[in-house]
Amino acid sequence: ELKVEQNPLFLSMQEGKNYTIYCNYSTTSDRLYWYRQDPGKSLESLFVLLSNGAVKQEGRLMASLDTKARLSTLHITAAVHDLSATYFCAVDIYFGNEKLTFGTGTRLTIIP
Amino acid sequence: GAGVSQTPSNKVTEKGKYVELRCDPISGHTALYWYRQSLGQGPEFLIYFQGTGAADDSGLPNDRFFAVRPEGSVSTLKIQRTERGDSAVYLCASSLVGPAKNIQYFGAGTRLSVL
């Protein structure tokens, strides 16, 4: 059974600081997704990582994938308040049936 | 609208009642997924449609849950004899399917409360 774990589960950080969220998964896959969820809202796609060594950046967020280690990271640079949200990673392993298995989420709070 | 639409946005029902939740996917998306998200958790897969057929219903928790997509577009998730433990946000997502990987786009969800 595929398991996806994130850490930390909760993260409170000051504006301007850098931090990294980690996502580990238990079964071989080369497809990993990062989503953002604001309170009471649905999920917004941030990144799709499709191969070992893939790195994608958007603004202050950068995601990377190491399929050998079964690890993805989401790095936040110089955090600002509007990045406060819950971040989920998700993995799918079946080509042709891309059901996603989500991590538990990291609740990120940026303090002014 | 261009996004995935789910109705109703909120549903309050009594234990033992029957409910239907509707999902209208993005036009042209052949794949449709239902997930359930409990408070403080990540979404959990329920069922996947490719066209009109349920390609994978392994996530449905029991036979009280059923979903249809008769014309390959709109889908309805049906829950019989609701229980308090069914309270959650039910999310629908749709995507294209093909050799290239495609993103799942999520609707805003239906918040189901079983009293």
Q: Is the pLDDT of residue B109 over 80?
A: yes
Q: Report phi then psi at A82, rounded to 5.
A: -75, 0
Which residues 11-40 in chain A show a CB within 8 A of chain B? 31, 33, 35
Tens of pLDDT, residues B52-73 = 988 899 999 999 999 999 998 9
The whole-angstrom separation of Cα B111 and Cα A108 is 23
Q: Which residues of A touch B107 (CB under 8 A)?
A: 42
Q: Is the pLDDT of residue B99 over 60?
A: no
Q: Report phi then psi at A83, rounded to 5.
A: -85, -5
User: A25: burial class by Cβ within 10 Å (0-12, 13-18, 19+)?
Assistant: buried
**Are A45 and B107 in contact (CB < 8 Å)?**
no
Q: Which residues of chain A have pLDDT under 50?
A: none
Cα B9 to the center of its chain, rounded Å: 12
Q: Which residue has the tokens 């049906």?
A: B78
Angle at A99 between CA A75 and CA A10, to 5 degrees: 35
* Among A98, A102, A104, A106, the residue to mutate for chain B (most B Cβ within 10 A): A98
Residue B31 in tokens: 């794949």
Tens of pLDDT, residues A48-66 = 998 888 899 999 999 999 9
The whole-angstrom separation of Cα A96 and Cα B4 is 21
**Are A96 and B31 in contact (CB < 8 Å)?**
no
| The pLDDT value given to residue B76 | 98
Measured over the CA atoms of residue A75, residue A78, residue A79 and residue A80, the dihedral's sign is negative
| The pLDDT value given to residue A92 | 85
* Among A100, A101, A104, A107, the residue to mutate for chain B (most B Cβ within 10 A): A100
The whole-angstrom separation of Cα A83 and Cα B102 is 25
Q: Which residues of B touch A88 (CB under 8 A)?
A: 42-43
